[in-house]
Amino acid sequence: MSQMPLYPLRFAPIYQYRLWGGRRLGETLSEPLPGSDPIGEAWVLSDRADHQSLVANGPLKGQSLGQLMEHSREALMGKLASRFTRFPLLLKFLDAQTMLSVQVHPSDAHPELIPAGDTAKTEAWVVIEAEKDSQIYAGLKSGTTEKILRSSLEDETIADHLVCIHPKPGDAVFIPAGTVHTLGDGVVVFEVQQNSDVTFRLYDWGHIDPRTKASRPLQVDHAFACIDFGASDAGLVAARVETSTPVERESLFDCPAFLLCRLIGQDPFPVGATAEPRVLVCIAGSGQVTHNQIPYSVGKGDVWLLPAEAGVCAFQPSGETTLLEIAIP
């Protein structure tokens, strides 16, 4: 594998049962959903020991992202290769038909709360679908203290102390580590996050998991230990237009963990970068990305990793198409 030149890599989604999920990810992605259970998450690029994304196209089909990082890291990561032993981002689609637990993720300021081998967890969402009653909670209302928040858990009024967003498709929401947050009631989002699975639940709305017939455990003390009660950048972000031709390029998220731009266009435009990897996520429309004169079909819901070795590629939309392009700072 180390001798084989890399090319644009498509990865198969890893569907995850969640009690709060639904069945809409079968429409958002091209891969059919398994069984009939609620599916809340599709892990579409994952270098986790327990959930490894597998290449779905070309000579490397069946190889895991972890194997690529081990054997072809220079070709895959380019000038970032010396910084990472595993791919630093975890990408997902979420279908939140009911409310997720109210939760928080630790920052680097709390290493004692982060298991060995894991990291802090800053994340962000791009809203794909939303219903009239959909809600996103992102951060604490001004004046909410630890005492007030603890009391709200006892009388089940925690939602009264969270900043509520009524999302619409296209909205972008930033959730830095330390932010109390949740979402649900019929919202589908794309999520970019640090490659971490550390979550502390504060409150779970009385959910009972039909599989276990029990409520899910809470980690209230751990959650309070890492909540940021000060001013925060959490919440809706305004898109910053960087270019308008040949593609409208909007910067949505720019933080130390990831950069994310939304690309909207119907004429050919470049994607990828020299000596750095890029991830493309197609959220509307379709087209093809060309590398070394070989076209690769891109459909709605597809996730493509453009290795650093591939450099800048050409994207040809089939009508108006919307891509998310993700970079690692």
Catalytically active residues are: 201
* Separation between Cα atoms, residue 83 and residue 87, nearest integer Å: 10
Find the distance separating the first CA and the last CA of the chain, reported in whole Å.
Answer: 27
* Separation between Cα atoms, residue 180 and residue 160, nearest integer Å: 13
* Separation between Cα atoms, residue 71 and residue 73, nearest integer Å: 6
**Structure tokens belonging to residue 327:** 């970079």
Eight-class DSSP state of 68:
H
The residues with which 181 forms a beta bridge, in sequence order, are 103, 138
Query: CA of 43: how far to CAs of 70, 74, 199, 303, in Å?
Result: 20, 24, 16, 10
- Residue whose tokens read 């962000």: 124
CB within 8 A of 172, min separation 6: which ones? 124, 125, 126, 127, 236, 237, 239, 252, 253
